[in-house]
Chains A and B, each alone.
Chain A
Amino acid sequence: VCNYRIIFWIFQELQIDYSKYEHPPVLTVEEQAKYVSSSEGALSKNLFLKDKKNRYYIVSAMTDTKVDMKVLSQRLGLGKGGIRMAPEEALSELLQVSLGCVTPFAVVNESARDVSLLLDQKFKNQTRCIFHPLSNDVSVSLNTLGLDKFLQSIGRDSVYIDLEVNANPVVGKDQPPDLAVYVPSNSVVVPELPTKTASIQTASKNVSAEKTKPVASAKPSKLAGNGKSAVEDSALLVFKNPEKFVEEILDKTTALLLSEGKGENVEALAETFRKRLTSEFTHLAVMYKNTAYSQGFYAGTQSQPKRP
């Protein structure tokens, strides 16, 4: 969990030039514009999006940039309707912010490590841009160099894209989805909250700078959701676990025995076994070997040199 003051601490550590504005909590860009004038910088609109495979994206753009969700979805390689606004629980679980507070800075949170951040290329032409620093009663203006420096310090690449590119067709045989490389490799399962925290009401009443925490924060493991992947995972154990490996071999052999074994003489049966099972078992064994080698290889890259 990241208190917004951390953001300013990082700015100071990295000597990033910024300006800070405090104001009543605001939920929309229009409201924010009342308190922070455009002479301070370009206001941004920030979208928190989710695709059908539970992968999340922050899209941060100039307020006048047209963000076409259909086009974006296609450019990410997700088909036409592959992307939509993320639910409120995801906002608090992954970005640790409340409504109206989506910001590029949210990726400072460990919980947001698999969220892809896409920035409007047009930010680069602005002297300064304005974002919330994790709280919707504060705004901060800085230039893209400062933003890049911030992101770099937390191990993130700054990804600027031209959101208004509209090729025709957007994606086709000769035009692969150009943003597909920014789709996160990991999906995240966000547990559904039973009732929404009344973050809206509290925000408008209190000028509290503390984030509202999700109600049921003691939820069971995030990854409990998907039944299918649990089955697949146990199937993959056969390549890692010696007992499962042997079990798989015996299962297949006994199944063949039971189906072919009636009345066959033993020699013929042995031949059948060899013929039918050799290729499949070899394949299994090679994958087992490859898995073991890869684990060893990885361990090798992580191991410390011997002490002299």
Chain B
Amino acid sequence: MEVDKKEEIASESSEEQVVNPWEVSAKDGGKIDYDKLIDQFGCQRLDESLIDRVERLTSRQPHVFLRRGVFFAHRDFDLVLDAYERGDKFYLYTGRGPSSEALHLGHLIPFMFTKYLQEAFKVPLVIQLTDDEKCMWKNLSVEESQRLARENAKDIIACGFDVTKTFIFSDFDYVGGAFYKNMVKVAKCVTLNKAMGIFGFSGEDHIGKLSFPPVQAVPSFPSSFPHLFPGKDKLRCLIPCAIDQDPYFRMTRDVAPRLGYSKPALIESTFFPALQAKNGKMSASDPNSAIYVTDTAKDIKNKINRYAFSGGQDSIEKHREIGANLEVDIPVKYLSFFLEDDAELEHIKKEYGEGRMLTGEVKKRLTEVLTEMVERHRMARAAVTDEMVDAFMAVRPLPNMFE
């Protein structure tokens, strides 16, 4: 059983890095050790051969996040590809906890990747908005969390999902019926002790938190969506997510066979670093740690220039001599996420790393790339009407979902 000895994340001392859905921090002021994480969690590296396979199967260049190792780990993605080759499709499941109105670039990453997967593999997608989770964990009112869910849905839609293949739902709206039946089935398979071990709950936590994990688990099972997948109980599910969500899905994968369902497959990403680096991930509570989708071109330029942690040397002479420290340089890291052109990125890394290019130039290029992205998002966001949100969230069949 996968879960056993890797479970006690919650009881880690502060000497170890901490990665769980509610907290992410590196060890001793260092950076997150992703290899150790893979080892600790028991998932697998997404290697070149898998990426090549994706290219072959989809007849298009793999997404920049695959090429650059942003999505770097997986569970059973190879099995999903095997099935796909045989003609057995799958569906995608991803989600968001709507805890603040302002979305930053780090939030968009799983959605950008999911959109690529939807287009490349031509498969349907369900998106869960966990308004109930945020109501419980962030102590928001029910109404406020529902409102945020709808607002976040607009930004998600703006990423470019196809309405004929996408179902967005909020827990407060959708939980019930077949979905709830699966929740109860899952809940019956997880003891209190196991839940406390996986998620770090304690006797002080309210029972709402305790009963939440099944809500995030059951969208992995096609029978939770009878209006979408009637009679397709064996349909596989692929979940793109950030690696801190792994605990939820380890529990789900453990329970699935006991319910006669396929285990969901996972494809996992690293964290998008904060502007000032500081070892963690971008945080919505510190506005200068992140670039928001509502930032103007001026804001972006300022934030990059003032807060982006630079790996350049203190003086130009020193910089020309030894070059930049690419390991810690944030602008280069961001470019590796968002600059599509592999050749250009390589060029920048070489020139900057060997001291011929200065920090200012790199930051300038980054500002261009991000501004274009944010502008495009804003245009698309402006086109998202309440009717469009209603359409995406309507409980309706999707007859062309595999086309």
Contacts and interface: CB of A to CB of B under 8 A. Distances in A.
B383 A287 contact: yes
Contacts of A181: 141, 143-144, 147
Contacts of A176: 100, 138, 140, 144
A297 B144 contact: no
Contact of A173 (B285, B376, B380): B285
Nearest to B166: A290
Interface in B137-168: 138-141, 143-144, 147, 157-158, 160-164
B114 to A, nearest CB: 13
A33 B231 CA distance: 71
A290 B393 CA distance: 13
Given A178-B141, A287-B383, A280 B376 contact: yes
Interface in A161-209: 173-174, 176, 178, 180-181
A283 B376 contact: yes
A279 B143 CA distance: 37
Contacts of A279: 340
Interface in A272-296: 279-280, 282-283, 286-287, 289-291, 293-295
Nearest to A177: B144
Contact of A289 (B158, B162, B382): B162
B390 interface: yes
A294 B140 contact: no
B388 interface: yes
B181 to A, nearest CB: 28
Contact of B391 (A173, A235, A298): A298
Contacts of B147: 180-181
A282 B383 contact: no
A201 B388 CA distance: 50
A181 B151 CA distance: 12
B376 A294 contact: no
B160 A287 contact: yes
A282 B376 contact: no
B382 A293 contact: no
B68 to A, nearest CB: 16
A155 B380 CA distance: 33
B160 A294 contact: no
Interface of B: 100, 119, 138-141, 143-144, 147, 157-158, 160-164, 285, 340, 376, 379-380, 382-383, 385, 387-388, 390-392, 394
Interface of A: 173-174, 176, 178, 180-181, 232, 235-236, 239, 279-280, 282-283, 286-287, 289-291, 293-295, 297-298
Top 8 A-B pairs ranked by shortest CB distance? A294-B388, A297-B391, A294-B391, A298-B387, A290-B163, A239-B383, A293-B163, A283-B160
Given A286-B161, A293-B163, A298-B391, 7 more contacts: A173-B285, A236-B383, A289-B162, A289-B164, A290-B392, A291-B388, A294-B391
